[in-house]
Amino acid sequence: MAHLVGGLGTSHIPSIGVALDRGQDTGDEWKPFFDGYDFPKSWVAEQKPDIAVVIFNDHGNVMFLDRLPTFALGVAERYEPVDEGWGPRDIPDFEGAEDFSWFLADKMVERHFDPMIAREIEVDHGLQVPMELFFGRPIEAWPVRVVPIWVNTLQYPIPTPQRCWELGKVLREAIDTFPGDDRVVVMGTGGLSHQLQGARAGFINRDADREWLETIGSNPERWTSMSREDYVEVFGSEGAELIMWLVMRGCMNSKVSLKHKHYVVPTSMTGAGCVVLENC
């Protein structure tokens, strides 16, 4: 059977990709952020995953308000980086883990999830940025195959935190029953606290961000018990993306080890950081 090697949580701010493209990751402004990813990169290199399941949201680049599924699952052979307005980034396409994607699709439907199935679709910074933060930028090909899972955090009604947690349980069941010996890492992305519009534009909740990073492993119930409205109040309208980390955490054991956490604020009007979790 396949094996879950661990869970990663990270912000996926688009300006991170811009900083990498411009070689600004070692400059004074960006270095404190990127330094926090040295350990996650070495951890990923040591674990040698074969498949990366990436939970993220589109940002109006390949899905828009006229057609916005609550959950979507990619089953494609390949995913190209989408042009987000300044040309596609100079990174390789992402090879899909088609066999596992279809297996997961069937398992989701069997467990009463009804995802949109995407046979051909591009991916935006929600997937691109986390992949580069954890795997670096390859010259020719990424070292893993990907399974993209899109979650609607753009337009209400978004899914509840509890529903995202339940999706994580289904994902774990699929990993544990998938034939073969693939090593799988699950990546929850989005956040941390931020709001980009309205009366609270520029809102960041440092205390809540630090509590999230400290307790997402040890006390996930603190976060699954919150309502969607709670997330907007505590983390900001865009900070509600953090519900996607609950898919990753729900996929893991009840007890996990927090191997690493990192937090920098502000990063492009956003609290930003990451965690590395291993099963106990």
Catalytically active residues, by annotation: 125, 194
236 vs 194: CA distance, rounded Å? 5
Contact 13, 272 (CB under 8 A): yes
Q: How far is CA 149 from the centre of its chain?
A: 9
251 vs 176: CA distance, rounded Å? 10
Distances in Å between the alpha carbon of 92 and those of 12, 124, 131, 140? 18, 13, 11, 6
Contact 144, 52 (CB under 8 A): yes
The tokens for 74 are 């990619």
CA nearest neighbour of 132 among 56, 34, 48, 213: 34
CA nearest neighbour of 81 among 14, 19, 144: 14
Buried b (16+ CB within 10 A) or exposed e, 197-234: eeeeeebbbeebbbebbeebbeebeebbebebeebbbb
The tokens for 12 are 């996926």
Residues pairing with 279 in the sheet: 256
DSSP-assigned states of every residue in 50-74: SEEEEEE---SSS-BTTB--SEEEE
> Mapping DSSP to helix (H, G, I), strand (E, B) and coil, where does residue 277 land?
strand
